[in-house]
Amino acid sequence: MSSSAVATSELALLRAHAGRPWVETLHEWVTTVDHKKLGLMYIGYALLFLLIGGIEAAIIRIQLAIPHNSFVSPQVFNRLFTMHGTTMIFFVAMPILFGFANYLVPLMIGARDMAFPRLNAWSFWTTALGGLTLYFSFVGGDGLYGAGSAPDVGWWAYAPLTSTAFSKGHSTDYWTIALLVSGFGSIGTAINIFTTILCKRCPGMKLGKMPLLAWLNLVMSGMVLLAISPLTAAQIMLMIDRYLGGHFFDTQAGGSAVIWMHFFWVFGHPEVYILIIPGFAFASEIIPVFSRKAIFGYPVMVGASVGIAFLSMSVWAHHLFTIGMPSYSNAFFVLTSMAVGVPTGIKIFNWLGTMWGGKIRFDTAMLFSIGFLVQFLIAGLTGIMLAVAPFDWQLNNSYFVVAHFHYVIVGGLLFTIFAAFYYWYPKMVGRMLGDTLGKWHFWLFLIGFHLTFDFMHVPGVLGMPRRIYTYEPGRGWEIWNLLVTVGAFFQALGVLCFVINLIKSYFRGAPAGNDPWDAWTLEWSTSSPPPAYNFATIPEVKSRRPLWDIKHPEDPDWKYE
């Protein structure tokens, strides 16, 4: 069936749906096992929590704009930073990345759906339940001592602050259970992505011929399978301590606060690589298309990604440089933390090599990708600085670290996520996102990002610790905090433009067609949006860029790979 014939029949189906009762549509979405619908639900869910987490950040920044401010009480502030961190990592970043993976992986490997569609649905709803549980704490956290509300123990929930002696009521339990439950959702999706990539590739697509997005999601899923269990185990032990008379982390009874730290960071550090690796995936698909060149060094990119995955499992105690480990332990983690920078740098050089000699088009997706490259470079370098343990003895737990990790997650990951939206929204919705609003989004957000997170490094250097609801005047922190807060509002305006663009383009965006970017991977061979069955016939591929081969029969990739 030709692509236009497919599009016409799809349009006919849509027209038939137009008169459907909304209950039927709702039922279809709630019971769906289609990877595309589940992907969109993950993304929509994450966007909602992005707005909530952003409001939490805005309140934090208003409170910190001037010293001795009283915009919120210390109790509320402590809940806000705990919820901001927990929300952004577990209910924004993870779901949005699982959402994109869900949508794109089957399409890009020429499959009709994920390997386990029902597990897919179960995983989404379980993750969603976790987020709702966490936010229910605002109203339901009152426990026996009326000391409840949202958790206020920081997103790492260090022991023994989380014991019943120091955290009364149920606020800590909401943190524990929400993450425990959503952790199962993450494991389910990881199993699904892993199996789908290994078992459901179309004919001709050997592992060495699949898109880098598939490789990177394979690596990410493997890491999820390894990294989530220590957190789950620690959370179960914490519940045993709190309710069943256990003393794992109860230092008053001989338990160990340090053991919680190790369990948490054995999860926590791989977790942040789990977050950034799909960001690398987006960059690896988008930068080649808008440079009009194949990705530079595909085999090395695969090797570096796998190398990062393994090495990142060995660095966790760089979060623990200040807890009093012996000098040789500290030195070991210095070495591994610096070593993981080598494959990461190699990836940056390969993206640069992709752009080199190309014909770069500055569509909004590419603007965000270039922003990612510069910002991720800076973030990696501040990471190398923090890997120098004695330097970390000064900077750990200060605003320098807060600036560093926001540089990675916002300046790195979020920029690639925005790029992914501009790139794949046309495929998902069938309409282009507006270009003018897109440029406003980019420039407003870029200005806000740099105002906030460039200047945020300075209070750290000047001795300002993190997680403080107010600070003393006269320490030189005031002007920097004010600038940081101003930047937050530019970012909010940028995100507002983005949300308006998403909604406006859904109704009035220019029709996208199958392949608006003249790209080369399989998802661009179907209609926009794709039919439920993805491909009328399962494609057969000969190279890493099947559509390049079709568009350039005189110069196909498989001659050179």
Partner 1 sequence: MLNSLLNIRAARSVRIIVLFVAGLLWAAVMAWANTGTGPQIPNIFAPESTPAHEIYIVSLFVMGICIAIFVVVFGLLAYSVVKFRRRAGDDHREPPQVYGSNQLELAWTVIPVLIVVVLFLSTARVIHEIQDAPPPARAVRVTVVGHQFWWEFRYPQFGFVTANELHVPVSDTKNPTPTYLTLLSADVNHSFWVPRLAGKTDLIPNRANHMWIEPRETGLYLGQCAQYCGTQHAKMLLRVYVDTTAQFDLWVQKQRLPALRDPSVTEGRRIFDSTACVNCHTVNGTGARGRFGPDLTHLMSRDTLASGAAPNTRSYLRLWIRNPYTIKPGALMPAMNLEDEDLDRVTAYMLTLH
Q: Are 244 and 148 in contact (CB under 8 A)?
A: no
416-475: which residues touch partner 1 (CB under 8 A)?
447, 450-451, 454-455, 458, 461-463, 465-472, 474-475
Q: Considering the complex, state which of residue 115 and residue 153 has its C-beta at the smaller distance from partner 1.
A: 153
The answer to the question of residue 166 lying near partner 1 (CB under 8 A) is yes
Task: Reduce the DSSP state of residue 431 to 3 states and report it.
Answer: strand
The answer to the question of residue 154 lying near partner 1 (CB under 8 A) is yes
H-type alpha helices, 111-156: 117-140
Q: Considering the complex, state which of residue 138 and residue 332 has its C-beta at the smaller distance from partner 1.
A: 332
Q: Which positions ≥6 away from 385 have C-beta within 8 Å?
A: 391, 395
The position carrying tokens 């510069």 is 374
The answer to the question of residue 361 lying near partner 1 (CB under 8 A) is yes
Gap between the Cα atoms of 142 and 353, Å rounded: 56
CB of 40 to partner 1, least distance (A): 32
List the one residue from 59, 240, 373, 536 that touches partner 1 (CB under 8 A). Answer: 373
List the one residue from 338, 493, 500, 536 that touches partner 1 (CB under 8 A). Answer: 338
Q: Are 210 and 266 in contact (CB under 8 A)?
A: no
199-218: which residues touch partner 1 (CB under 8 A)?
none
The answer to the question of residue 315 lying near partner 1 (CB under 8 A) is no
Q: Considering the complex, state which of residue 142 and residue 478 has its C-beta at the smaller distance from partner 1.
A: 478
Give me the phi and psi of 166, to 5 degrees please. Answer: -110, -15
Q: Considering the complex, state which of residue 44 and residue 208 has its C-beta at the smaller distance from partner 1.
A: 208
Q: Considering the complex, state which of residue 19 and residue 254 has its C-beta at the smaller distance from partner 1.
A: 254
469-528: which residues touch partner 1 (CB under 8 A)?
469-472, 474-480, 483
Task: Mark residues 295-314: x for contact with partner 1 by CB under 8 A, - for none.
Answer: -xxxxx--------------
The answer to the question of residue 550 lying near partner 1 (CB under 8 A) is no
List the one residue from 26, 30, 331, 538 that touches partner 1 (CB under 8 A). Answer: 331
Q: Considering the complex, state which of residue 105 and residue 304 has its C-beta at the smaller distance from partner 1.
A: 304
Taking CA atoms, 231 is separated from 53, 176, 190, 235, in Å, by 22, 10, 16, 6
List the one residue from 54, 110, 160, 278 that touches partner 1 (CB under 8 A). Answer: 160
The answer to the question of residue 384 lying near partner 1 (CB under 8 A) is yes
List the one residue from 395, 428, 444, 456 that touches partner 1 (CB under 8 A). Answer: 395
Q: Which of these segments, 109-117, 386-394, 495-503, 527-535, binds partner 1 (CB under 8 A)?
A: 386-394
List the one residue from 281, 294, 379, 547 that touches partner 1 (CB under 8 A). Answer: 294
The position carrying tokens 């339940």 is 129
Nearest to 422 by CA among 462, 362, 359: 362
Q: Which of these segments, 87-95, 192-200, 316-324, 494-502, binds partner 1 (CB under 8 A)?
A: 316-324
Gap between the Cα atoms of 351 and 266, Å rounded: 29
The whole-angstrom distance between residue 154's C-alpha and the CA centroid of its chain comes to 19
Q: Which of these segments, 133-141, 169-177, 291-299, 532-540, binds partner 1 (CB under 8 A)?
A: 291-299
CB of 400 to partner 1, least distance (A): 9
76: buried, middle or exposed (CB in 10 Å: 19+, 13-18, 0-12)?
middle
Nearest to 90 by CA among 175, 214, 191: 175
Q: Considering the complex, state which of residue 356 and residue 533 has its C-beta at the smaller distance from partner 1.
A: 356
227-256: which residues touch partner 1 (CB under 8 A)?
251-252, 254-256
Q: Are 348 and 373 in contact (CB under 8 A)?
A: yes
Q: Considering the complex, state which of residue 114 and residue 294 has its C-beta at the smaller distance from partner 1.
A: 294
The position carrying tokens 């973030």 is 379
- Give the number of residues written for the chain: 561
Q: Which of these segments, 33-41, 216-224, 384-392, 426-434, binds partner 1 (CB under 8 A)?
A: 384-392
Task: Reduce the DSSP state of residue 119 to 3 states and report it.
Answer: helix
Gap between the Cα atoms of 558 and 545, Å rounded: 9
Task: Please provide the DSSP assignment of 365-416 as one string.
Answer: HHHHHHHHHHHHHHHHHHHHHHHSHHHHHHHTTBHHHHHHHHIIIIIIIIHH
Q: Which of these segments, 16-24, 262-270, 415-423, 553-561, binds partner 1 (CB under 8 A)?
A: 553-561
Q: Are 256 and 234 in contact (CB under 8 A)?
A: no
CB of 330 to partner 1, least distance (A): 5
The answer to the question of residue 559 lying near partner 1 (CB under 8 A) is no
Nearest to 467 by CA among 4, 83, 13: 83
Q: Considering the complex, state which of residue 62 and residue 381 has its C-beta at the smaller distance from partner 1.
A: 381
8-state DSSP, 87: I
CB of 348 to partner 1, least distance (A): 7
List the one residue from 226, 306, 339, 493 that touches partner 1 (CB under 8 A). Answer: 339
Omega prior to 160 cis, within 30 of 0? yes
CB of 112 to partner 1, least distance (A): 31
CB of 95 to partner 1, least distance (A): 26
CB of 519 to partner 1, least distance (A): 12
The answer to the question of residue 145 lying near partner 1 (CB under 8 A) is no
Q: Calculate helix-pair angle for 415-429, 257-291, nearest 10 degrees.
A: 60
Which token pair is 165?
């002696």
Q: Which positions ≥6 away from 387 have C-beta within 8 Å?
A: 318, 334, 337, 338, 341
List the one residue from 4, 8, 11, 74 that touches partner 1 (CB under 8 A). Answer: 74
Task: Mark residues 78-117: x for contact with partner 1 by CB under 8 A, - for none.
Answer: x---------------------------------------
* Number of residues counted as binding partner 1 (CB under 8 A): 105
259: buried, middle or exposed (CB in 10 Å: 19+, 13-18, 0-12)?
middle
Bridge partners, 431 (sequence order):
511
Q: Which of these segments, 2-10, 74-82, 104-112, 196-204, binds partner 1 (CB under 8 A)?
A: 74-82
CB of 515 to partner 1, least distance (A): 15
Q: Are 546 and 521 in contact (CB under 8 A)?
A: yes
